Amino acid sequence: MNQISTFYFQNILYYITMIPLIGILILLFLDEEQKKLIKIIALNFSCLPFIGFLFVWGGFNKSVGIFQFVTQILWIPVLNLNITFGIDGISLFFLLLTTLLIPLCILISWNSINYNLKGYLISFLLIEFFLIVVFCVLDLLMFYIFFESILIPMFLIVGFWGSRERKVLAAYYFFLYTLIGSVVMLLSILYIYYQVGTTDYEILLTFTFSDLEQKILWTTFFLAFAAKVPMIPVHLWLPEAHVEAPTAGSVILAGVLLKLGTYGFIRFSLPLFPQASFYFTPLVYTISLVGIVYTSLTAIRQTDFKRIVAYTSIAHMNVVMLGIFSFNNIGIEGALLQSLSHGFVASALFIIIGVVYERYRTRLVKYYGGLVHTMPLYVSLFLFFTMANIGFPGTSGFIGEFLILVGSFKVNSSITFFGATGMILGGCYSLWLFNRICFGNLKSQYLKKTLDISYREFLIFIPLVCYTLILGLVPDFYLSSVHMSVNNLVENMYF
């Protein structure tokens, strides 16, 4: 019995990965008219991976920094290409974030998507499958394949189920900006395979590239990951994609897809090309600081509710880059915590936008005002996540940004000073937006319905509120699981 349970536990990542695919197969055989059944099946099969990763977290050994629950699948043995799954503290919480947000995306769309519902839900289950593989796989080529595969269902969600006429253009923006940067990364992966004879991640960690090779390879990886973060000047796709995407599409974009860039830097760029990472640090700092200040100032002058939050996401993710390239435990742990925090907070803000958009069918800020008089519960949640977005003490945003600033201060105090302006500007655009939406006179000539949030919408917010508070009040709840993995990463870079 013990041997059987050990076998299943060792292969648990493989089984969890297959769950969304099983859900997709079932949905394919259902008739489009069975809308309620389609929704229930999609919701259940999107929730099961989250439950599975809770069990994984329960069996996760926090005292070691090695990969755990490792499973290998033979793919092309003659070419030494295999699919290896494994997780450490760095990837564990990205998996929990992904598998929590996908069910919330389905709940958000419960009443708002009526045409081609089956295709819409299949797209989200596909995204869940691809993201689980991306965060679990320990093979560079497999990472690239699934990293790029996410573009297909996301392109459909933005281009087909988007809300306005520019949705197709926005979908192409998203597709082309992120694809073009990644093509050069594929060439680099092929070169690595030619040099090393494998793309197995753990073997690559033991291989040392020359300084010139590292600089060239790091640059190609940077182009792919910078477009996902996104960093200036390859950020233009994000505001367009957010504005045109349905609410659930914006949630998964901000909540998880932006994290693929930061995860790629931490997982591949830093440990595989350490010398190049040190060499290009001034470049990364410069681009990140420009991104923080520029996008924060740009957010202040926007008139579209979604576009404002989209620009704030770019600013926050560029702050994360400062933590990653501090090359110390505190900064990198802060970057990981801030990435996770942004996943909860930005997702909640886009849901908040979706709530009023469903009622009033507009995202222009000038049509709103005085919602505190008619939607007090909505305004309370809006205020909570506005404070979290600013980095108010007691919320996850404060802990993440504080650790990033402490980590970067150890490297360069000037960078920390300019990076901290993001928190000041964040207070400006966040509070100004909240004030314009919630206070003042109710614009009754535009806002006819005055319904506060529904029971379903309230249930969607509960886990996001809880995790934002838990990470802010008890950060060791998260940090204890990543200490050893980050320490192992830093040691590999320096030694």
211-270 per-position pLDDT tens digit: 999 999 999 999 999 988 888 888 888 888 888 888 899 999 989 988 999 999 999 999
pLDDT for residue 83: 83
User: Can you tell me the distance from the alpha carbon of 149 to that of 133, in angstroms, rounded to the nearest whole number?
Assistant: 11
Judged by DSSP in three states, 18 sits in helix
Judged by DSSP in three states, 474 sits in coil
User: Can you tell me the distance from the alpha carbon of 188 to that of 127, in angstroms, rounded to the nearest whole number?
Assistant: 25
User: Can you tell me the distance from the alpha carbon of 329 to that of 403, in angstroms, rounded to the nearest whole number?
Assistant: 10
Least Cα distance to 10 among 94, 86, 98 occurs for: 86
Long-range interactions of 293-301: CB distance < 8 A, separation 24+: 293/418, 293/421, 293/422, 293/425, 294/232, 295/232, 295/235, 296/421, 296/422, 296/425, 296/426, 296/428, 296/429, 297/425, 299/429, 300/425, 300/428, 300/429, 300/432
Those residues whose C-beta lies under 8 Å from the C-beta of residue 385, and which sit 6 or more positions away, are 345, 348, 349, 352, 464, 468
Amino acid code (one letter) for 59: G
Residues of the chain with pLDDT under 50: 1-8
Token pair, residue 16, equals 């969890």
Q: pLDDT tens digits, residue range 23-71? A: 999 999 888 888 889 999 999 999 999 999 999 998 898 888 889 998 8
User: Can you tell me the distance from the alpha carbon of 112 to that of 37, in angstroms, rounded to the nearest whole number?
Assistant: 16
pLDDT for residue 54: 92
Structural contact between residues 135 and 268, judged by C-beta atoms closer than 8 angstroms: no
Amino acid code (one letter) for 108: I
Alpha helix positions (H), 150-258: 151-161, 167-196, 201-204, 211-228, 237-244, 247-252
Phi and psi at 314, nearest 5°, equal: -60, -45
Phi and psi at 71, nearest 5°, equal: -135, 135
Amino acid code (one letter) for 315: A
Does pTM top 0.75 for this prediction?
Answer: yes
Q: Longest Cα pair distance anywhere in the chain, in angstroms?
A: 71
Phi and psi at 448, nearest 5°, equal: -85, -40
